[in-house]
Amino acid sequence: MAQIPNLENAPLNLKSIREKSQRELVNLLKDIRGTKCLVIDPKLSGSVSLIIQTSTLKELGLELRHLSEEPVQTECTKVVYLVRSQLSFMRHIASHIHNDISKAIQRDYYVFFVPRRSVACEKILEQEKVHNLVTVKEFPLYMVPLDEDVISFELDLSEKDCLVDGDVSSLWHVAKAIHELEFSFGVIPKVRAKGKGSVRVADILNRMQVEEPVNTNDVGRPEVDTLILLDREVDMVTPMCTQLTYEGLLNEFLHISNGAVEVDSSVMGSQQEGKKMKVPLNSSDKLFKETRDLNFEVVVQVLRQKATTMKEDYTEINSTQTVSELKDFVKKLNSLPEMTRHIHLAQHLTTFTSKQSFLSQLDMEQTLVEAESYDICFEYIEELIHKQEPLTKVLRLLVLFSITNSGLPKKQFDYIRTELLHSYGFEHVVALNNLEKAGLLKKQEFKSNWQTVKRTLKLIVEDTDTSRPVDIAYVYSGYAPLSIRLVQQAIHSGWRPIEDILKLLPGPHLETKRSGFPSSPSVDSLHGASNGVADGRRSVILVVFIGGVTFAEISALRFLASKEGMAYDLIIATTKIVNGAALIETFMDKQG
């Protein structure tokens, strides 16, 4: 199965978007004659692998390398750098070129910026005196479809950049990407945003429509009905909790990156010891599509049930006689590889989930979210530090603790920080400072309003039946993610009924209607008559998470979309798929 997802059943034609990016990249590379060495920044190479196969790239006469500080080892006289516009990469490129010059190697250099050239990056090239040696071009890759209903803008550092450094470049990028979507699918008429970044994106999006209008006559009736924008900052509680869906857990323990996990081949039942193998995870895998969004407990049951049926079929086969029965059986056998794959993965996961420490961590998360037993939580975290559990794990709980209590009292705040620095080293002062700047770990200044939010939005759902869920809370076994509760509200009733609650959460909110290019009113009314389910396709709601979204949240949204009485398909777009650990790590500058 390929790592590049099959996008046949996407509610929007995401395939065309992917194909466009593919074409653009191939054309850029074809423009340079002859053999060349493509040096790609490692993170970007992951994104690129989701739009084009490596083999296709190699057919273009490319040698592939990853960008690092080390000089590029190649015979090619043409070196193409494919990089995101990050300042640090420019240094590498400059040092490579200087290295070649010192060795009197003559080469042609090309720098392809993704998604566009940047003044700051070129400034560095200028100051390093290599700007006149390179040909600069752009590869406008603003988004990558991860699956039928998920788009990623591939902005790993968005949350940290915005909250800590005040670098809001990612907001422009997000707006630009949405605007690109509008060029294909029409101007989105309704916008609902919550959070500083989201409101800003809505604003930039409107500006873009003025500057470079999407002509409604070209694209026809908008396929996307509503745009919901949500800042991660609004809900930092959810990502700090451990996701309990199948896909979520896979991500927590095995790190799904670019739609695949890498595991020891022994895990997958292969004989070769010590070798790593990649297991693609997307909806082209029927069984995964069926189970990814379920609570992991249920996945085990489902797998057992399927296996049992299969076993029965297998024993029956000895008694079957007719060809058609055999055919049926063979058809069933086709799902066998999928079955084995997921049984292996699930078993591997249980080795983590059955650990005592994991269970107590889950208990603690629940306690933290309920936010009613302060001392127990504090002592638990203190002990984690004393045991020197991994720092990300500690910080994750600590952040959860700080948010639900709107900070720690000064004395304990200082105490915990001292214990952290003593235990893990003083270099982590930067991480602490970053978290403080971002408001994730701070001194208590006023009373927490988490209780109100929790109660009003019914975030804690008792008696969750994970096998027959009626509420999104099943994805965290009893905690309904705040972010998705907000989306739920935005879909059903807009912001008005919950304005009081919104005011308790960080950032402003906004609800507007937009129109495309002023077209003749008669055309509008014509379309108005056929609103809703016009051509058998449901209207689409685009939910954008600025700062990242977790798999569990995506599962919750899919659950909403599949519920009866839901008139919309949902497409989720995010700066990056994240989990608590990944988010925390972005705040931990590599300083030490």
Partner 1 sequence: MANVSVAAEWQLLYNRYYRKPEIYQMRWKHVDLSRNKVACASFGGPIAVIRDDSKIVQLYAESALRKLRIFNSAGVLLSETVWKHPGGRLIGMSWSDDQTLISIVQDGTIYRYNIHAELIQPNVTMGKECFEQNVVECVFWGNGVVCLTEGGQLFCISDFKTMKPYKLADVPGLTEDDMLQPSCLAVREPQYTMSGNVEVLVAVGDEIYVVDEDEAQSIRFDEPGGEDSEMGNDDYGGSLIGPVQKMIVSPNGKFLTLFTHDGRIVVVGMESKQIAIDYSCESALPPQQMAWCGMDSVLLYWDEDLMMVGPLGDPVHYFYDEPVILIPECDGVRILSNTSLEFLQRVPDSTESIFKIGSTSPAALLYDALDHFDRRSAKADENLRLIRSSLSEAVESCIDAAGHEFDVTRQRALLRAASYGQAFSSNFQRDRVQETCRTLRVLNAVRDPDIGIPLSIQQYKLLTPVVLISRLINAHSHLLALRISEYLGMNKEVVIMHWACAKITASPSTPDTHLLEILLDKLQLCRGISYAAVATHADNCGRRKLAAMLVEHEPRSTKQVPLLLSIGEEDTALVKATESGDTDLVYLVIFHIWQKRPPLEFFAMIQGRVLARDLFVAYARCHKQEFLKDFFLSTGQIHEVAFLLWKESWDMGKNPMASKGSPLHGPRIKLIEKASNLFSQTKEHTFESKAAEEHAKLLRIQHELEASTKQAIFVDSSINDTIRTCIVLRNNRAAAKVKSEFKVSDKRWYWLKTFALATIKDWEALEKFSKERRPPTGFRPFVEACIDADEKAEALKYIPKLSDLVERGEAYARIGMAKEAADAAAQANDGGELLERFRKTFSQNAIFDTLKMPFQGA
Site for partner 1, rule CB under 8 A: 87-88, 116, 118-120, 123-124, 127, 161, 165-169, 171-172, 175, 200, 203-204, 207, 210-213, 269, 300, 303-304, 307, 310-311, 314, 333, 336, 339-340, 343, 346-347, 350, 354, 356, 359, 382-383, 385-388, 414, 417-419, 421-427, 429-430, 433, 591-592
Please say which residue, 307 or 326, places its beta carbon nearer to partner 1: 307
* Contact (Cβ atoms closer than 8 angstroms) between residue 179 and residue 143: no
Please say which residue, 417 or 509, places its beta carbon nearer to partner 1: 417
Phi, psi of 577, rounded to the nearest 5 degrees: -80, 130
Please say which residue, 325 or 414, places its beta carbon nearer to partner 1: 414
Please say which residue, 155 or 486, places its beta carbon nearer to partner 1: 155
State the DSSP H helix or E strand holding residue 91, giving kind and residue range, or none if neither: helix 87-102
Please say which residue, 424 or 568, places its beta carbon nearer to partner 1: 424
Please say which residue, 373 or 388, places its beta carbon nearer to partner 1: 388
Residue 385, CB-side half-sphere exposure with 13 Å CA sphere: 20
Q: SS3 for 345? A: helix
CA end-to-end distance (rounded Å), the chain: 41
Q: With the C-alpha atoms ordered 56, 58, 62, 65, is the resulting torsion angle positive or negative?
A: positive
Min. distance of Cβ 264 from partner 1 in angstroms? 17
Least Cα distance to 11 among 530, 487, 540 occurs for 540
Residues 6+ apart with CB under 8 A from 176: 115, 142, 208
Please say which residue, 528 or 592, places its beta carbon nearer to partner 1: 592
Min. distance of Cβ 145 from partner 1 in angstroms? 25
Q: Which residues make beta-bridge pairs with 544?
A: 229, 573
Least Cα distance to 370 among 315, 484, 448, 307 occurs for 448
Min. distance of Cβ 86 from partner 1 in angstroms? 9
* DSSP line for 5-64: PP-TT-SS-HHHHHHHHHHHHHHHHHTS-S-EEEEE-HHHHHHHTTTS-HHHHHHTTEEE
Min. distance of Cβ 87 from partner 1 in angstroms? 4
Min. distance of Cβ 210 from partner 1 in angstroms? 5
What is the C-alpha separation between 52 and 226, in angstroms, rounded? 30
Q: Which residues make beta-bridge pairs with 231?
A: 546
Q: Where do the DSSP E strands lie in 121-259?
A: 134-138, 144-147, 150-152, 190-194, 224-231
Q: Residue 335 CB: number of other CB atoms within 10 A? A: 14
Token couple for 557:
């949204």
β-bridge pairing 150-152 and 568-574:
parallel
Min. distance of Cβ 432 from partner 1 in angstroms? 9
Q: SS3 for 406? A: coil
Please say which residue, 434 or 489, places its beta carbon nearer to partner 1: 434
Min. distance of Cβ 314 from partner 1 in angstroms? 6
Please say which residue, 118 or 449, places its beta carbon nearer to partner 1: 118
Min. distance of Cβ 340 from partner 1 in angstroms? 6
What is the C-alpha separation between 585 and 567, in angstroms, rounded? 38
Min. distance of Cβ 311 from partner 1 in angstroms? 4
Please say which residue, 255 or 387, places its beta carbon nearer to partner 1: 387
Please say which residue, 26 or 343, places its beta carbon nearer to partner 1: 343
Q: SS3 for 280? A: strand
Please say which residue, 336 or 533, places its beta carbon nearer to partner 1: 336
Min. distance of Cβ 191 from partner 1 in angstroms? 15
Min. distance of Cβ 532 from partner 1 in angstroms? 32
Please say which residue, 110 or 296, places its beta carbon nearer to partner 1: 296
Phi, psi of 335, rounded to the nearest 5 degrees: -85, 0
State the DSSP H helix or E strand holding residue 511, giving kind and residue range, or none if neither: strand 509-513
Min. distance of Cβ 196 from partner 1 in angstroms? 12
What is the C-alpha separation between 320 and 350, in angstroms, rounded? 37
Min. distance of Cβ 178 from partner 1 in angstroms? 13
Token couple for 534:
């016009």
